[in-house]
Structure 1
Amino acid sequence: MPRIQFRSDVITGADSLWTRLTGQKWSRHHVFVFIHTFMSYAMLHATRKTLSTVKPSLINTWMSNTSTPEGALFPTKQAAAEFLGGLDTGFMIAYAIGLYICGILGDNYNPRRLLAAGMMTSSIVVLSFGYLTETFHFYSPTLYAFLWISNGFIQSVGWPVEVSIMGNWFGHNARGAVMGAWSSCASVGNIIGTLITSHTLFLGYQYSFLIVCTLLFVYSFLVFFQLPSAPWEVNNEVPPEQMNEELENDETTERPPPIGFFRAWLLPGVIAYSLAYACLKLVNYGFFFWLPFYLHSGLHWPESYADALSTWYDVGGIVAAVIAGACSDHMRSRTPVVFTMLIISTFSLYIYAHSPESYNWNAFLLMIAGFFIGGPANMISSSITADLGKCDQLRGNAEALSTVTGIIDGTGSIGAAIGQWFIPSIQLWFGWDAVFYGFIVMIICTAVCLVPVLWKEQKARRTAHRSDEKWTRYHVRVFLHTFIGYVLLHANRKTLSTVKPSLITIWTDNSSTPNGPLFASKQTATEFLGALDTGFMITYATGLYICGALASLIASQTVSFGYQYPFFIICIAQFGYSILTYFHLPSAPWEVEELNVGRITKEAPSEERERPPPLGFFRAWLLPGVIAFSISYSCLKLVNDGFFFWLPFYLHNGLHWPEAFADALAIWYDVGGIIASIAAGALSDRMKSRTTLVFIMLLFSTVTLLAYCHSPESYSWNATILLIVGIFIGGPLNMIAGCITSDLGKSEALQGNAEALSTVSGIIDGTGSIGSAIGQWLIPLVHVWLGWNAIFYGFMILVVCSALCISPVLWRERKEHKLQKVAQRR
């Protein structure tokens, strides 16, 4: 939608930074629109949330013998719970019908007036439902049903017209970042409603309704008088002579004609996303309506305690809305982000279904579940809906934002309505675990609905951006031999870390040598192994300047025969593969040409055959980003090699698990690193920025380290959290050591005159190995003095340091990216 900007209204000062972050120039009208639409929908959602947070109190009131002259309103608590489920179902059905209708109204009438009227009416209806009925002790299932179902229809005016208003003011370049942050308004409203309830419940549940309804009623006046629904509404208030002076572009600001309801269904992606959102909203609103009740009824926590805990689900949704929106802007495609998060959410749901009854663990896992469920839900209902409502097929002839929003959110609400009807029955018949398994099935259905859209987008992307890189048999051979060659080298190193407990036992055994034990105590032997690791890393670093998982698996299968056998197997495999590497690995295209003298082949393009001159060691340090990434990698490799050398020992010594069991469990850290290497590499290509992805993963890794530090002594839990830790630590580590090092070694600063891949790789990995060497010396000492927890806290500090080291590079890249976008627009 074309936008107007008034020079007198444009925000100054931090404007340039804010514009870079959001991709949008902001005037005071943009600020009013963002704040008022955000807060108004948060208030609407807070009124809905209040019912779900006071369900236990309502049931107790209805079950009291004095609640009605005839006795209890319902014969059993289960009957009362089923009635509440029926209320939720009726609310969502009315809400769904209203969305279809209000979507059309929003495109034909003034959205601001519709929104203000809906907020005012909803506040009166909800006040009657929750406050007046309790104050006057008038309890009637029929009245409750009428009021709450009416509220569902009235509140349906909110989302379609608010998305329409936001889409009118914020352009496509800003839509992912801005709409992602804005779509967290529902989660913020949930938190507001929950916090109000948890702090007023001791006064009586009716006061929770009184407060939120008062806030909603007051805010409806602000919306009516302060919210400009579109640029053309602002134009009507500006004198023509002033407009001629202040308009920055000549594009039309007249309101375009609306689109028909049935034609909107035929827009590309609308049906697929509507069905997907129906499945996903069932899950999201299952948490919305029933999470506090589950925490109170299923886990037997006090009601106010359960209400406060449930806010962590919404916190995860808020964080995801911002990050996923910004990520999708960088990738220029939203469906892959949504699809990936949906797949991960199935695992987070399974884990939460079996979470321990601990406040901290429940809060953490709820935040993770909210992140991977709330994020896609907010993306579909805001950013993607806004894109679909302004798709290329309309060619500027029609405006369909409100209509498309009503279709998608309305279809989603039908799915949510069905879910609220089933949830209490499934809980009664099969238990809460069955509810969560049902959620997992619905998430899978959501992902399946998006497969055709994802396939279409990926196909179009491949056609538009077909890679110039063609693989020959030499490319395949180089990839395989270098991969397996380094795997075996790493397996050779890993073996020592997996057999440390056996070595210590032998060295401290009285019969191990004729003169008695080799070391006086196990602690002395442990410190000696730490010194060996330190010496190894120092010589390894020196060697780099001058010129994994497989080992754990082999060790876990062979250590029962004696610690010497893992060394034997790995060394034999490495020796054999060294011969294969010597005869079959072409190190560069010019080496292929030497093997094919006088013959020009398609497999070795001429522009690649001439070997460039090498780069000096000290000059390589001065390449942009080399110093920053070297220091960052030094901190990060200390952490990674801390796991590499000491994780099996920690599992055996700290958690007291058998050695072979500990070796097998340690593999999960490496599995996480493998997954992250592939996913992060592909994602960074789409984002066109590797530093941004590394920085984000490093920040997440601190949370995962804290979670692992306090993980329960369970194999399943340790394996799961180790996998996650491996993703967020191994991913950035492999990115720096692989993709980023390769990019730096072919920097534009070289201007094509030199090749520095090997030199830069040696510098970065060598500096990292120095940090690792220091770590292997300190880890056994810190373990003795302060315990294992201190080691994990130290790892967290080092990960933060690693992120800080690359922040200047990140800032420079973001600045260059912004300048490029400005140049492209010109």
Structure 2
Amino acid sequence: MISSEFDSPKSVHLSPVLQMPAMVTRNQSRLLRAQIVLFVMTYIAYSLTHVQREFWAMSKEHVKPELGFEDDQLSNFDFSQLVSYSLSLYLFGTAGDRLNKKKLLVVVYLASGFFFFLQGLGGLLKITSPVYYFFVFPCIGISTSFIFAVFIALLADWFPKRRRGIVIGTWTSCINIGNIVGVQLASGLLSLYGAEKWYYLMFTVACLMILFAVLFLLFLVIEPEDIGLEVNENEQLEEIQAIENEEIIQLNVKEKTQEKETFIQQNSFSTSHYQSGKRINFLTSWRVPRVFLYSCCFFTVKLAVTSFLLLLPSFLKQELDFSDQKKANMSTCFDSGAIFGNIILGYLTDKLYSKRSPATFIGLACASTLSFSITFHYKDLGDGLYAIVFFLGFFLSAICNIISASVAADLGKQKALQNNPKALCIVTSVIDGSGGMGSALGQLIIGQTKAAWGWQNGFWLVVSIDIALTCVPLFKILVEELIEIKNIVKNRRQKQ
């Protein structure tokens, strides 16, 4: 009998063409698992920073009699934290681009846990010196300022632009979840520990921050390539690619050369700087396309959101005589609306060919209308105020998160930067830092206008005008992206 290699089943091998689908499926499964782990880990980790803020907000009423501080002093502590947060983003925003993100997060979470512990230690030891707290609060602002930009950079590396709106929109709901959990958990822990032992709240969140520093050290994977995976950032819609190809064909070499020379003459931040891999610093990051305009948008919208969140409880108590439970329910309505808004508006921006400005502009128009309605009719709304506050959170807070997260990730990964790994964190930091400045100045401006003109004209009217002004810098981006969408739709119809 003539033996042949075909007689033995062990010698039968699949061709590379047949093996490839199985390999792709395995890689996709590994990628999905890794994405879920990263998403969940960063989601819970960042929500802790907002849990801590709610812990402190819930503790203020107990801090005043225990340590003898007035409202103005506590506001000054908060102001110092916000200013240090923003300045740190501006000055050290490139740290996430230059340093190892895993080591940076471990150090930052250990440092944040340490300063949260010092915050609680002041209550335990009855430290009444303002100098101590003017040291602790800015340190908290500096240590926590690195977290958001690094997380957005990680998400941008792990998720392509085509699905980034829904993914990051869902992820940013951790801010509102952190607020809700923080309020409820603080209430329970204060009942357990006793109101006079508010500092145990700070010790609790400090331990959780240190725990996540250990988890990051053990399990965090910075880039897909570190475990042999790949995420295609250029996974775009076919219509967009077709339009770009047509534009390239229509332009001859001479025209393109002239356009580049003109652009370089008008903007010192040339394309060669993007492609060279050089570190983009604070000043040059402002000249990255659309960063300045979106930073202006985030400054104004963050001013409104922060002022709204900080002064809403006082407004409800003084003007509408709400009980503590009703105030908590109103805050929950706002955060619940924000959660739905993050997901739905994020999904909508993906469906608009990853163009973020149309949904953002519409949301701002709706939020402005709702805010003006409250300004002139809040005494007549009754229980309808809950619904309006829900949709105000749906539009306003969701827009805030879209600009700070999805838009920042898109700008840091845009084609002009050639996916420069040394640009993403600084771009996110500039936008987030601008929002922090808006939050800090909002406390000063709204506080003065409210004292001078009252709740209706000094608070609600100023906030409403501020929201409306956000549309001004956004309008230029809106026009450009509407033209891009029009061309995409036109190209799609021609193919059909």
Q: Secondary structure at the match of 1:292?
A: helix
| Offset, 1:115 | 1.7
| Offset, 1:308 | 4.7
What pairs up with 1:323-342 in 2 under 5 angstroms?
323-332=344-353, 333-342=355-364
Distance 1:212 1:365, change over 3 A: farther
Structure 2 residue aligned with 1:240: none
Structure 1 residue aligned with 2:126: 137
CA-atom RMSD, angstroms? 2.8
What pairs up with 1:529-568 in 2 under 5 angstroms?
none
Contact 2:116 2:202 in 1 (8 A): yes
Distance 1:258 1:7, change over 3 A: farther
Count of residues in correspondence between the two structures: 422
Structure 2 residue aligned with 1:349: 371
Structure 1, gaps ≥5 residues long: 12-24, 68-72, 75-79, 236-245, 470-747, 749-826
Structure 2 residue aligned with 1:317: 338
Quick one: which of 110, 113, 129 aligns to 1:120?
A: 110
Contact 1:53 1:197 in 2 (8 A): yes
AA in 2 matched with 1:408 = I
Distance 2:482 2:368 in 1: 23
Contact 1:88 1:420 in 2 (8 A): no
Structure 2 residue aligned with 1:442: 466
Distance 1:216 1:312 in 2: 28
Structure 2 residue aligned with 1:263: 284
Structure 2 residue aligned with 1:272: 293
Contact 2:98 2:422 in 1 (8 A): no
Contact 1:9 1:28 in 2 (8 A): no
Distance 2:116 2:326 in 1: 24
Q: Secondary structure at the match of 1:54?
A: helix
AA in 1 matched with 2:213 = S
- Whose RCO is larger (CA < 8 A, sep 6+)? 2
| Offset, 1:436 | 1.6
| Offset, 1:444 | 1.3
AA in 1 matched with 2:129 = S
Quick one: which of 31, 45, 50 aligns to 1:45?
A: 50
Contact 2:446 2:462 in 1 (8 A): no
Kindly, what percent of the aligned residue pairs are identical? 26
Contact 1:195 1:308 in 2 (8 A): no
Distance 1:424 1:52, change over 3 A: farther
| Offset, 1:378 | 0.8
Distance 1:38 1:352 in 2: 33
Structure 2 residue aligned with 1:148: 137
AA in 1 matched with 2:280 = G
Structure 2 residue aligned with 1:216: 209
Distance 2:231 2:413 in 1: 22
Distance 1:6 1:126, change over 3 A: farther
Distance 1:192 1:330, change over 3 A: same
Q: With the length of structure 1 as denominator, give the TM-score of the two structures.
A: 0.48
Contact 2:280 2:422 in 1 (8 A): no
Alignment of 1:58 with 2:68, yes or no, is no
| Offset, 1:270 | 0.4
Quick one: which of 151, 155, 159 aligns to 1:170?
A: 159
Distance 2:129 2:316 in 1: 27
Alignment of 1:410 with 2:433, yes or no, is yes
Contact 2:303 2:439 in 1 (8 A): yes
Contact 1:112 1:223 in 2 (8 A): yes
Per-residue CA shift, 1:182-205, capped at 9, x if unaligned? 121211111121111222334223
Distance 1:352 1:127, change over 3 A: farther
| Offset, 1:102 | 4.0
Distance 1:444 1:108, change over 3 A: same
Distance 1:290 1:408 in 2: 24
Contact 1:194 1:308 in 2 (8 A): no
Q: Secondary structure at the match of 1:156?
A: helix
Distance 1:171 1:463, change over 3 A: closer
Contact 1:426 1:435 in 2 (8 A): yes
| Offset, 1:304 | 5.8
Alignment of 1:200 with 2:224, yes or no, is no
Alignment of 1:455 with 2:479, yes or no, is yes
Contact 1:86 1:421 in 2 (8 A): no
| Offset, 1:394 | 1.8
Bigger Rg, which one: 1
AA in 1 matched with 2:358 = P
Q: Secondary structure at the match of 2:470?
A: helix
AA in 1 matched with 2:79 = T
Contact 1:168 1:230 in 2 (8 A): yes
What pairs up with 1:604-623 in 2 under 5 angstroms?
none
Per-residue CA shift, 1:212-235, capped at 9, x if unaligned? 333223222212221112123334
AA in 2 matched with 1:431 = G
Quick one: which of 449, 453, 456 aligns to 1:426?
A: 449
Per-residue CA shift, 1:249-269, capped at 9, x if unaligned? 9x9xxxx94641233221211
Quick one: which of 381, 388, 398 aligns to 1:375?
A: 398
Structure 2 residue aligned with 1:291: 312
| Offset, 1:301 | 3.8
Quick one: which of 158, 166, 176 aligns to 2:147?
A: 158
| Offset, 1:406 | 0.4
Structure 2, gaps ≥5 residues long: 1-22, 235-275
Distance 1:358 1:146, change over 3 A: farther
AA in 1 matched with 2:438 = G
Distance 1:428 1:466, change over 3 A: same
Distance 1:230 1:367 in 2: 37
Contact 1:283 1:439 in 2 (8 A): yes
What pairs up with 1:657-668 in 2 under 5 angstroms?
none
Distance 2:399 2:428 in 1: 15
Q: With the length of structure 2 as denominator, give the TM-score of the two structures.
A: 0.78
Distance 1:306 1:208 in 2: 21
Per-residue CA shift, 1:147-167, capped at 9, x if unaligned? 112111111011110000111
Per-residue CA shift, 1:54-77, capped at 9, x if unaligned? 333333x16xxxx5xxxxx35xxx
Distance 1:180 1:38 in 2: 12
Structure 2 residue aligned with 1:33: 38
Distance 1:84 1:111, change over 3 A: same
Contact 1:313 1:369 in 2 (8 A): yes
Once structures 1 and 2 are overlaid, which stretch shifts more, 206-215 or 178-187?
Answer: 206-215
Contact 2:97 2:421 in 1 (8 A): no
Contact 1:95 1:410 in 2 (8 A): yes
What pairs up with 1:497-508 in 2 under 5 angstroms?
none
AA in 2 matched with 1:444 = A
Contact 1:385 1:408 in 2 (8 A): yes
